[in-house]
Structure 1
Amino acid sequence: MREKETSEGRETADGEGRRTRRRDPRRRERVLDAALDVLAEDGVAGITHRKVAARADVPLGSVTYHFVSLTELCTRAFARYIEQRSTEYEALFAEVTSREDLTEVLVERVRGGPSRHRSAVLGFVTQEWTRSSRAVLARFTGPEAAARLDALLEGMIMDTLLSTEREPRAEIRAATAPSA
């Protein structure tokens, strides 16, 4: 059966139309956003090309056309996430003109954290770990310093897990050494 191109897609010789998707300049970004959603819900182990295609409402071939592997898809999705969050983070400090302003922005940042990804069960387990960790540190530093040191350690450990470069030993020592 012969087909001809129309403004709505392809039309067969008997007049039956078959809609095709035309140029979609944001398709790649939609796929990346969908990949981030799937990653947030199912984790790296649960992501598939099919899940991402369904979430982005694109044909499976579009996902594999733009990203040859799941590793590339995840890497590009995380890079997009970092780019978006970096822009938002920079904007948080746009009005900072003093040390007090900086402190207020930081306090709000910590208090407002990434709540959409919180899990009640994980929160409970984490809270128990935090209590235990701070109790051990408090034997050497006191409760207030233990809380700050614990938060610093958690952040530094997370940074070590996610970074490709190790923090120099001397800098870790300087950051964690009790102040006189």
Structure 2
Amino acid sequence: MATGHTDPQRRERILAATLDHIADEGVAGVSHRRIAGRAGVPLGSMTYHFAGIDDLLHEAFRRFADRIVTVFEHHLGPTRTPAEAREAVTDLVHALSEGSRRDLILAHELYTLAARRPEYRELTQNWMHRSRRLLERHFDADTARQLDALIEGLALHRSLDTAPQSRDLTLQAVTRVTSTA
């Protein structure tokens, strides 16, 4: 195994291993030793790259949130009209709910951590802010806020339901939230 400066991907491997570990065992199981073993790096690399467990968790979850915002951008970026945005949001809900269980677990581990520890709320607040900005390209700020919550709720329900709702029903819900009075 390469060491120090000859291993430029070490930090990235540590972050990936952290997210994999959280998805498999939860935040409570994170330790320097476990993550180093999973990443295949010397234990000393952990403190070289991260000030502590909180620094590691914060960075790993920031990267996870960035990736989810990229999924939002992928779906909403090409839309030009509110009707196209409604279709894109519907597709987004289904992509999130039918996607990897890993992402579902990571999102809820982050939510739980943020609910317990205020210093992680900044991550979730930033994630919500960025998602809402994408929605505000087509909808007013209040509607974007409601729609963002609807996306998360519908994705969660669809992912856990043994008979998830259809795309048509999802589109109906999105249309109701985004219709102007």
Inter-CA distance 74–163: structure 2 relative to 1 (3 Å threshold): closer
Q: What residue in structure 2 maps to residue 117 of structure 1? A: 101
Q: What residue in structure 1 maps to residue 3 of structure 2? A: 21
- For the residue of structure 2 that corresponds to 1:103, the secondary structure is helix
Q: How many residues align?
A: 114
Using the alignment, how far apart are the partners of 1:92 and 1:46 within structure 2? 34
Using the alignment, how far apart are the partners of 1:86 and 1:111 within structure 2? 15
| Cα distance, 1:70 vs structure 2 | 0.9
Largest Rg, 1 or 2: 1
| Cα distance, 1:88 vs structure 2 | 3.0
Structure 1: runs of 5+ lacking an equivalent: 1-18, 119-156, 166-170
Report the aligned-residue RMSD: 3.4
1:67-105 Cα distance to aligned partner (Å, 9 max, x none) = 121111101111111222223321222221122211111
Using the alignment, how far apart are the partners of 1:106 and 1:80 within structure 2? 22
Following superposition of structure 1 onto structure 2, how do residues 116-155 of structure 1 map, counting pairs within 5 Å?
A: 116-117=100-101
Q: What residue in structure 2 maps to residue 123 of structure 1? A: none
Using the alignment, how far apart are the partners of 1:87 and 1:60 within structure 2? 32
Structure 2: runs of 5+ lacking an equivalent: 103-110, 126-141, 147-180
Q: What residue in structure 2 maps to residue 43 of structure 1? A: 26
Following superposition of structure 1 onto structure 2, how do residues 51-70 of structure 1 map, counting pairs within 5 Å?
A: 51-70=34-53
1:11-64 Cα distance to aligned partner (Å, 9 max, x none) = xxxxxxxx7536111211111111111111111111111221122111111112
Following superposition of structure 1 onto structure 2, how do residues 91-102 of structure 1 map, counting pairs within 5 Å?
A: 91-102=74-85
Using the alignment, how far apart are the partners of 2:50 and 2:19 within structure 1? 14
- For the residue of structure 1 that corresponds to 2:3, the secondary structure is coil
Is 2:33 aligned against 1:32?
Answer: no
Using the alignment, how far apart are the partners of 1:97 and 1:37 within structure 2? 36
Pick the structure with more helix per residue: 2
Pick the structure with more strand per residue: 1
Structure of greater relative contact order (alpha carbons < 8 Å, 6+ residues apart): 2
Using the alignment, how far apart are the partners of 1:116 and 1:84 within structure 2? 13
Q: What residue in structure 2 maps to residue 5 of structure 1? A: none
Q: Which range is displaced more, 80-89 or 33-42? A: 80-89
The percentage of aligned residue pairs carrying the same residue is 35
